[in-house]
Chain A
Amino acid sequence: MNTNFFELFHLPQSYAVDLQQLDSAYRDVQSQVHPDRFAMASEAERRVAMQWATLANEAYQALKKPLARAEYLLKLGGVDPELESNTSMPVDFLMAQMEWREELAEAVSSKSVPALSGLSSRLQSEMNAMLSRLGSTIDQEQDLAAAALLVRKLKFLHKLDEEIENALDAIG
């Protein structure tokens, strides 16, 4: 099934998404294909209903989170973000990544919750700023190559965010 996830939920194909509309469209599809409705149906019908439920779930996951949504829009636009193969990020960006990680390592070794929380809140605002730039790059400027670079950058920030959360869990 090669269905456009935006079309599946009757949403405009854009980075900006009305999350309430997405949620209710998702619930609609799920209720239409709910196994209870197909209790008396043939095996073939049940199988099709199950496939729709799986597809709706996949579509919902792809559209719910902003970064995943951007990756999906790149895919629709035929742009490969080269997450596995593109290692040449801008040097100043990589320097900043090194510095973030050095700070994280220090905060972890001193077991400092305030340092980790401070790092986390600075990272959140950096990620939010980058996500809003990603939105305008895709929706207004329609520059998918620039969006691919932002997606690559956000992957690093997400990874760092995960590590900070893990460190906070381990200490707290």
Chain B
Amino acid sequence: MAYSDKVIDHYENPRNVGSFEKGDESVGTGMVGAPACGDVMKLQIKVNEAGVIEDAKFKTYGCGSAIASSSLVTEWVKGKSLDEALSIKNTQIAEELALPPVKIHCSILAEDAIKAAVEDYKAKHTAS
């Protein structure tokens, strides 16, 4: 199966690889995994006082499509509010990267990672 040019580009030059300090109050961390293929994805967002996502980082162990999906969403969420980030749908990711049907779960993983990161950030801030 051939990867699209966009997948290859994100796979070879992944954007925003790395980690933020997990305990940082301004950081939300989302960890998700896909049992079918064993992919593991960590996505972190850094949120400023205005509630806007300033920066995002990811670390993904998985196939090219999973890495490309997470790389892409770290670019997309930057500059977005939490609600805007939550509105990103896996179908948009799959369409942008031209993912074949067998790789759709990679885009689901990336969507779920954003949701988990936003939830983690919100949990940190409503608990106090």
Chain A interface residues toward B at CB < 8 A: 81-89, 91, 93-95, 97-98, 101, 151-153, 155-156, 158-160
Chain B residues near A152 (CB, 8 Å)? 35
A87→B112 contact, CB < 8 A: yes
Closest A residue to B39 by beta carbon equals A159
A98-B59, A98-B61, A101-B61 known; A89 vs B38 contact (CB < 8 Å): no
12 A-B pairs in the complex with CB atoms less than 8 angstroms apart: A81-B35, A83-B35, A85-B108, A86-B35, A89-B33, A94-B31, A94-B42, A98-B40, A98-B42, A98-B59, A156-B38, A159-B38
B70 to chain A, nearest CB (A): 12
Residue from A82, A87, A94 whose CB has the most chain B CB atoms within 10 Å: A87
For the complex, give the distance between the alpha carbons of A152 and B33 in Å: 10
Contact with B116, one of A83, A88, A158 (Cβ below 8 angstroms): A88
Chain A residues near B37 (CB, 8 Å)? 159
B41 to chain A, nearest CB (A): 8
B42→A87 contact, CB < 8 A: no
A87→B36 contact, CB < 8 A: no
A94→B35 contact, CB < 8 A: no
Chain B contact patch, size range: 10 to 19
B102 to chain A, nearest CB (A): 10
A87→B32 contact, CB < 8 A: yes
B73 to chain A, nearest CB (A): 14
For the complex, give the distance between the alpha carbons of A81 and B33 in Å: 14
Chain B interface residues toward A at CB < 8 A: 31-38, 40, 42, 59, 61, 105, 108-109, 112-113, 116
A156→B31 contact, CB < 8 A: no
B118 to chain A, nearest CB (A): 14
B32→A89 contact, CB < 8 A: yes
Chain B residues near A83 (CB, 8 Å)? 35-36
A134 to chain B, nearest CB (A): 14
Chain A residues near B108 (CB, 8 Å)? 85, 87
For the complex, give the distance between the alpha carbons of A158 and B37 in Å: 10
A87-B108, A155-B38 known; A95 vs B31 contact (CB < 8 Å): yes
B66 to chain A, nearest CB (A): 11
Chain A residues near B113 (CB, 8 Å)? 87
A71 to chain B, nearest CB (A): 11
Closest A residue to B38 by beta carbon equals A159
